[in-house]
Amino acid sequence: MKKTYWRSVDDLTGSPEFRDWMHREFPDGASEHVPADDRRTFLKVMGASFALAGLGIAGCRRWPETKIVPAASQPANRIPGVPVTYCSAWDFAGFGQPLLVKSYDGRPIKLDTNPAHPWGGAGISAVAQAQVLSLYDPERSRQVLSKGIGSSYEPFATFLANTSRELKQKGGQGLAVLCGAASGPTHAATMARVRAAFPKATVVEWESLGRDNAIVGTEAAFSAPMRMLPLFDKAKVIVSLGDDFLYGSPDAPQWAKRWAVGRSIDAADPKAQEVARLYVVEQGLTSTGMCADERIATRLAFMHVAASIIAEAVGVGSDSAELRAALSAANSSAAASALREGRGQKVFDALIADLKANRGRSVVTAGATACEATHALVAAINRALGNEGSTVMLLAEMQTASMPAMQALCKSMQAGEVDTLFILGVNPVYAAPADCDFAGALKKVARVVHLGLHADETARHSAITWHIPQAHFLECWSDTRSFDGTIAVQQPLILPMLGQGQGGRSVDELLAELLGDGPTDGESLVKSTHESLASANAGGPAFAEVWRKTLDRGFVEGSALPAVSTPPMRAAEIAKTLTGCAWECDSAKGVEVVFLRDLKVWDGRFGCISWMQELPDPVTKITWDNALLMSPKTADDLKLKRGQMAAVTVQGRTLEAVAWPVPGWSDGSVGISVGYGRSGEGVGLVASDAGFNANRIRTADAPDWTTATAIVPTGATYSVAHTQDHGAADAINTAVPLQGIQERLPTLVREATLDEYRTHPDFARHRTHVASRLSLWSENNLEGAQFRWAMAVDLSKCTGCSACVTACQAENNIPVVGKDMVLRGREMFWIRIDRYFKGSNAASPDGFALQPVACMHCENAPCEQVCPVAATVHDEDGLNSMVYNRCIGTRYCSNNCPYKVRRFNFFDYHRREVSREEGIAKVKPEYYIEEGPDVWLRMQFNPEVTVRMRGVMEKCTFCTQRIQAARIKAKNEWARAGGTASGQKQFSIPDGTIQTACQQACPTGAITFGDLNVADSAVAKLHRSSRSYQMLEELNTKTRLQYLARVTNPALPRESGSGYGGHGGDHGTDHSNGHSNGNTKG
């Protein structure tokens, strides 16, 4: 292509550097280059596809011929088109998550929690729900690769048989097996068999983001590693030392559910209302930190010092002079003074006073990344406070510290001691820390077998002899143990979606084949494990009955681990761990770099799930990338601005990442999530180039945090797609930053402290003055309707975990739009979580506010009034309906919506590949594609909800498909019973039958849906509560979605008042202004 004008030689030649620069810098206008060659070609391509489209819809019919394809032989009790729900489970890095899987015509389409399971009934996290999409990932590995070339399973089976024989003769000499942590008894049994058959083999169960610190720390304290199970629901005071239990751990839903019990504002007499208090000491800003009543931001390196301060004050070490000495040494260090600076001292005092006043009713917990000393001290603190046995349960830890084992494995690989390596279900070439140099070590191994869901970086390594596609957990049998030890069976819902003879094995099935003695199919393996478990329970029911029950209800009765009561505590060991905590607390040494755990991608394994890439991070609201997060002060110190690239050097290794200041982050400490920055062949479209690879500077000795030698701006910038802007210029008064937001915020997110609530329980009603409720047009008449659907969202319980966002996406076929579109604000989520910072000092916010916003289903809806074609109309039951086929795309409705909850399909996103670059024409040309892996993603669609196309507006429907389904079912049952002749005058739907997707997924139960016409329904009670209010009620929209104001429980007075914010202070002024201007807005 000949160019006439160009800016540089690179521009003329269109070099890769130039394209890269164009892509990364100043996206406005920069990437207008159409990837296809030039306009002429583009027009040709589009013209051709128009023509083809015309031909495609042939036959002079409005639609093409459709087929009905029944089964040849329908199984009994299966009605085609009626979803069936099965119990299953998912092992998330060694923690079983109980699931109910909804299967529609043999396709699993939605995952939810299993309420019957002891560890279930707590909603489901966003990442767990996203696993259903990974089943249908078109980029999944579908073919056996032999040295990178497509092959099939048969030759591999021969190879495996031969290898097995050979290894058995050698007793496993030279064999190494590397797999992930898996908790189930079947896996444990298989690994035991492997160790028995190959005694000289190295077997490593490794997690890149493991719990090594907790394991080593509790081992020091108790002489055997213990797992601490906090019972947050029984605690009056919760102290979290870096533990993001509300969002940042695999079992977050269960912790959040328990925490929410303590936050329930349901006392009959408001004066007697009690609320548990949450103190958080953390390095970064997390969901738990945002929900904290009191918060201290400090470097992760100081966490054990924070623990020491608490420990000394509550009397830890009363029986050990060593421990006391260690504690006082820690408490007189520079770190301790840093912690006590400013407000810190007051917070610690309040914290300690609270703990002392609530012995046996408090929980102190430490995060997975906090050092071993912190964990040891926390164990001691809980012991000293008498929490053990009442609010904290100790269970025998099932996992082992894995990073040292991984390091040892790498060393022996480098030394050439391993000639056969099995990498099962993990991606160490990407996820292993940089100093392990796994890629280099792999080259020294003669035969490597990789089992993986994707043909990822490990599979594409030159040393891999065989790559076998792994079966997804929804495709194979296994079992899991959840945190409390309850065993759940993982049963498949679909056969492996791979070609014939192309593998589709689970980890245990492959190992069973390696062992070669006995059945190798998952079902037999699991059944035999459970048979031996059942037989251990002599005198119990027959195994067949036990098995049936296990599959029906999803768990093995009575399999939870028993609590270990008062294991002996070793104060001397704790003291040693504490003094041995070599991390210096010297800020002059350099900026701390923390490796954060991102629950969207974990260690990178979920990076291929588009839902997770697009989900805004609960704290930073960043999508499709990670960033180098830091406090605004640190950013200034490092001379970095938001969006500028920085080079972080740690021990000679450098990583470039985009700087992103986050108000509330600790000073002198930067954080970056692991699991991003993947690139290269085999990574796939979704995960490629998303973010920056923190593993480059991460070492196995310091996998959680380290010190940077240097952090310097590189001069480049990077555009980050985030869905909520903080620190934006404020139009109301540019002289006072954020003033407008701060004035408005108290009416949008209404909060009060517990003291205020006790004296003014209806404080929420007094945040706005609604001068009049006159309407410009005649309002909808909803009198006499049989149902009045409504929803209540309790802001006291919302943690911002975004499980509702992903649930809605899964249920309603919401498309993923890609980074490019998110940059333009075109993300399609029907529900979003607004996250605000409070206070006008960006460097240290006074507090945080979270608010889920979905369509309010206003009775007096502004959107309905302006639709020119009546595509959005009001239901007689109160729902604002969206009729997609009538919509012509004027977008007047979203223009008029004051809550901005309407999303427009600017493109046909379902047919468009997600793009990180700006450009057009990445659309697949044919509409009715019937074959190919791209069709897979469509299998996840919920058939009960229309799939929207380009040009159509969409928004939350209160899950109208679920409402209709329940309604029709109830009506039919009543009609079949005889209608009015049955004795019931009219059919009814019991409260709680209909659960919207967001409600079902919410771990804390913050969302309630139901019928206002039923006087004692949950939602009616909540709407009558004194805390309930409508958002923007002064606009007289009469929303059916009401919020319940948040009640916080701070220990210390706040600088900005209690959350009354500007209103309280400027009350007089506003009023007089309002009256003198004749303004009707209060």
**Which chain residues interact with another protein by CB under 8 A?**
61-63, 65-74, 79-82, 873, 875-877, 879, 881-885, 944-947, 957, 960-961, 964, 968, 971-972, 975-976, 978-981, 986-987
Q: For the CB of residue 81, give the shortest distance to another protein in the complex, in Å.
A: 6
Q: For the CB of residue 952, give the shortest distance to another protein in the complex, in Å.
A: 9
Q: For the CB of residue 1038, give the shortest distance to another protein in the complex, in Å.
A: 18
Q: For the CB of residue 84, give the shortest distance to another protein in the complex, in Å.
A: 12
Q: For the CB of residue 984, give the shortest distance to another protein in the complex, in Å.
A: 10
Decide whether 190 or 946 has the Cβ nearer to another protein. Answer: 946
Q: For the CB of residue 977, give the shortest distance to another protein in the complex, in Å.
A: 10
∠ CA(775), CA(781), CA(784), 5° rounding? 150
Q: Strand, coil or helix: what is 1022?
A: helix
Q: For the CB of residue 949, give the shortest distance to another protein in the complex, in Å.
A: 10
Instruction: Please say whether the dihedral angle defined by the alpha carbons of residues 77, 81, 82 and 88, taken in this order, is positive or negative.
Output: positive
Phi, psi of 361 (to 5 degrees): -130, 30
Q: For the CB of residue 976, give the shortest distance to another protein in the complex, in Å.
A: 6
Q: For the CB of residue 65, give the shortest distance to another protein in the complex, in Å.
A: 6
Beta-strand runs (E) in 764-818: 789-794
Decide whether 13 or 986 has the Cβ nearer to another protein. Answer: 986
| DSSP structure string for 287-338 | HHHHT-SEEEE--GGGHHHHHHHHHHHHTTTTT-HHHHHHHHHHHTSHHHHH
Distance CA 997, CA 831 (A): 11
Decide whether 767 or 962 has the Cβ nearer to another protein. Answer: 962
Beta bridge partners, 101, equal 86, 111
Distances (CA, A) of 408 to 194, 203, 399, 705: 19, 11, 18, 21
How many CB atoms lie under 10 A from the CB of residue 99? 31
Strands 107-113 vs 644-650: parallel, antiparallel or unpaired = unpaired
Decide whether 834 or 876 has the Cβ nearer to another protein. Answer: 876
Distance CA 582, CA 559 (A): 40
Distance CA 294, CA 1009 (A): 31
Please write down the HEC assignment for all residues of 424-447: ECCCHHHHCCHHHCHHHHHCCCCE
Q: For the CB of residue 886, give the shortest distance to another protein in the complex, in Å.
A: 8
Distance CA 1000, CA 108 (A): 17
How many CB atoms lie under 10 A from the CB of residue 907? 19
Decide whether 732 or 968 has the Cβ nearer to another protein. Answer: 968
Cβ-based neighbours of 390, under 8 Å, separated by 6 or more = 231, 234, 360, 361
Q: For the CB of residue 68, give the shortest distance to another protein in the complex, in Å.
A: 5
Structure tokens at 231: 């019972």
Q: For the CB of residue 981, give the shortest distance to another protein in the complex, in Å.
A: 6
Q: Largest Cα–Cα distance of the chain, in whole Å?
A: 96
Q: For the CB of residue 828, give the shortest distance to another protein in the complex, in Å.
A: 17
Distances (CA, A) of 349 to 311, 314, 733, 965: 12, 11, 38, 55
Decide whether 5 or 928 has the Cβ nearer to another protein. Answer: 928
Q: Strand, coil or helix: what is 889?
A: coil
Query: How long a stretch of residues is the chain?
Result: 1082
Beta bridge partners, 1007, equal 793
Q: For the CB of residue 1064, give the shortest distance to another protein in the complex, in Å.
A: 42
Distances (CA, A) of 597 to 181, 328, 456: 17, 32, 21
Closest residue by Cα to residue 1010 from 831, 780, 787, 852: 787
Structure tokens at 964: 């209709």
Q: For the CB of residue 865, give the shortest distance to another protein in the complex, in Å.
A: 16
Place of tokens 């220990």: 1051
Question: For helices 303-314 and 344-357, what crossing angle results, to 10°?
Answer: 50
Q: How deeply is 733 buried, as exposed, middle or buried, from its count of CB atoms within 10 A (0-12, 13-18, 19+)?
A: exposed
Decide whether 72 or 776 has the Cβ nearer to another protein. Answer: 72
Q: For the CB of residue 960, give the shortest distance to another protein in the complex, in Å.
A: 5
Distances (CA, A) of 325 to 312, 316, 523, 968, 1076: 10, 11, 56, 71, 68
Distance CA 110, CA 89 (A): 13
Decide whether 28 or 931 has the Cβ nearer to another protein. Answer: 931
Please write down the HEC assignment for all residues of 984-1014: CCCCCCCCCCCCCHHHHHCCCCCEEEEECCC
Tell me the CA end-to-end span of the chain in Å, nearest whole number: 62
Q: For the CB of residue 871, give the shortest distance to another protein in the complex, in Å.
A: 9
